[in-house]
Amino acid sequence: MVKEHISWYSERLQRDMSIRIYGDKGTPVLVFPTQDAMSDNFENFGMIDTLSGYLNEGRIQLFCVDTVDTETWSNVWGDKGWRASRQEAYYNYIVAEVLPFIADRNGTGRLPIVIGCSLGGLHAAILFLRRPELFAGILSLSGVYDAKFFFDGWLNETLYENSPMDFLAQMPPDHPYIRQYNEKPIILCVGQGAWEDEGRRTTAIMGDIFRAKGIHGWTDFWGYDVNHDWCWWQKQILYFLPYMLGETRIGG
């Protein structure tokens, strides 16, 4: 398997940011790490080994990014307005810097699937739901979709744009994005075991919003033994990935 580590200085974030690439061809997959983690997160927790069959067969190519979560979502004592602005800068970094890099390096002309676990699932949802034309689909595992949860209930205009539960609820039912959503696979999965309470709450709300807006998103709730942990995310990604790649028709 081809593996590469690349970094560059981002003017938008005023710091070096890295990307780890796994595989040399196939459908591009943008991967967001778990909270506060960096581009080595998937490798460190065994997900690259889990996906080795797909990677070795050239079916997918992973692009795993860094985060600035310690400055934004986890910076509980920081100024809330600055934290929200910093998250917006990170969103712009992904759109303006990372996605063109993926397109150039992957070379297939395919739009990337976006995937994330835990807080990575929130990042994935923000990107896909704000810019569906840039992605082929989303798989979010154990995400929390209410930005206010990380900001003690606080919300301003900038954070609103990074809170899927809020901005999607206000989207007009005739918005052109809804047609684009319905052309692509949308999967939000959560367990019902330990440490999944907020994920369960917000995934259920997202399911209600999907139904109200006519969005064909799949919200899937796994069992009460399914905890917020890597062993389950590894099982879930193998279960859902064939659907994301258009190889099966499982799901709702």
Quote the domain boundaries for residue 55: 3-244
Q: Global pTM?
A: 0.97
Mean of the per-residue pLDDT values of the chain:
97
> Of 117, 138, 143, which Cα lies nearest the Cα of 127?
138
What is the b/e burial string over 63-75, where b = at least 16 CB atoms within 10 angstroms of the residue's CB?
bbbbbbbebbbeb
Task: Report pLDDT for 53.
Answer: 97
164-190: pLDDT as tens digits: 999 999 999 999 999 999 999 999 999
Establish if 26 belongs to a structural domain.
yes
DSSP characters over 223-240:
-TT--SSHHHHHHHHHHH
What's residue 248's pLDDT?
A: 77
Residue 251 within any structural domain of the chain: no
Reading the block at residue 71, the tokens are: 């400055």
Q: How many domains does the chain have?
A: 1
Whether residue 51 contacts residue 23, with contact meaning beta carbons closer than 8 Å, is answered with no
In the 8-state DSSP scheme, what is residue 136? Answer: S
CATH number for 86: 3.40.50.1820
Residue 168 lies in a domain: yes
pLDDT at 27 over 60: yes
Give the pLDDT confidence of 94-151 residue by residue, as tens digits: 999 999 999 999 999 999 999 999 999 999 999 999 999 999 999 999 999 999 999 9
Residue 127 lies in a domain: yes
Q: Which two tokens stand for residue 126?
A: 């923000």
